[in-house]
Chain A
Amino acid sequence: MRIDCPHCGSRDVQEFIYLRDAGPRRPDGMAATLAEMHVYLHERDNPAGRHRELWYHGSGCRAWLVVTRDTRTHAVFAVEALPASVESAST
């Protein structure tokens, strides 16, 4: 599997680290109920197919990326740079 980093170009997957589903946003820990935190932490979809994911280019530009990938075939449909506004809210 190769990921076409928008900053560095196409690189082998071993340069990247997978984080998680790109969708969920962490609730404010001080305000969230236990149930809300439980949902955020544990109730994740596990789709067989198209999935939007956060990946970190740790051995390259050290930027966060959103990779849209088929979890069955590892086909990569899209790789986007994570907007700075999302970066600070999600990592």
Chain B
Amino acid sequence: MAEPSSSAAGWRSQSAWAGVAVSGHLGADGGAGVTVCCLRDVGMATLIAPKRREAALIAAVEARYGMRLPEDPRTVENGGVRAVWAGPDQWLLVTADVSGVETLREVIADLGAVSDQTGSRAVLRVSGRAIRAALAKGCMIDLHDGSFPVGAAALSSIAHIGVHLWRLADGPDGAVFEIAAPRSIAGSFWSWFAASAAEFGCAVVVES
């Protein structure tokens, strides 16, 4: 990621998880039943279509990114840009870094409202053979294949914290989920997650 323009004044960007999560092993000894990667520098923007004008927005995004914005609770990805359904005529766009958000602004122009959310959400990527059991301690949504297949997305709350979650393609340990929580309460979310995953043994990687 490019250095923020304010670095001359001594400001530095840091991970949403800095000072919250620490790389290493958490909880029960032995193998890790849960693996968590604390992501940083994820570019994010919300995209809202004007009422009854969503078709033009969907067409513009499809022409530029080669993916169709989902109109039901799903996520799609193409060429490093991910779109996650975020309610009727609303989406969260996730890019590798903030420059993707600038491109998005140009593509959308006056077809919809784009609001940069980069840095406003803290994102965990979680997996492992016990991941569903760990998440079930706070997540009210059934995350099994039958009701939450690869590409499913949901807005819900976990431990009283509003979250946006979606399921990526399966990895070597099975299902992989990403969970975005408000950055200002990432510490609270982490304390719930760490306590929930501890009994299974949890491998933690904090991206720096």
Contacts and interface: CB of A to CB of B under 8 A. Distances in A.
A59 B157 contact: yes
Contacts of B51: 84
The range of chain B's interface size is 10 to 19
Interface stretch (A8-16, A17-25, A35-43): A8-16
Contact of A59 (B52, B86, B88, B155): B155
B155 A8 contact: yes
B73 interface: yes
Nearest to A7: B88
B28 to A, nearest CB: 30
A1 B157 CA distance: 17
Nearest to B154: A8
A60 interface: yes
B87 A7 contact: yes
Interface in B130-185: 140-141, 154-157, 162
A81 interface: yes
B176 to A, nearest CB: 21
Given A7-B73, A15-B140, A84-B52, A60 B88 contact: no
A17 B48 CA distance: 23
Given A12-B140, A15-B140, A15-B157, A61 B162 contact: no
B114 to A, nearest CB: 18
Interface string B68-108: 00001100000000000011100000000000000000000
Interface in A61-90: 61-63, 81, 84
Contacts of A14: 140, 157
Interface of A: 7-9, 11-12, 14-15, 59-63, 81, 84
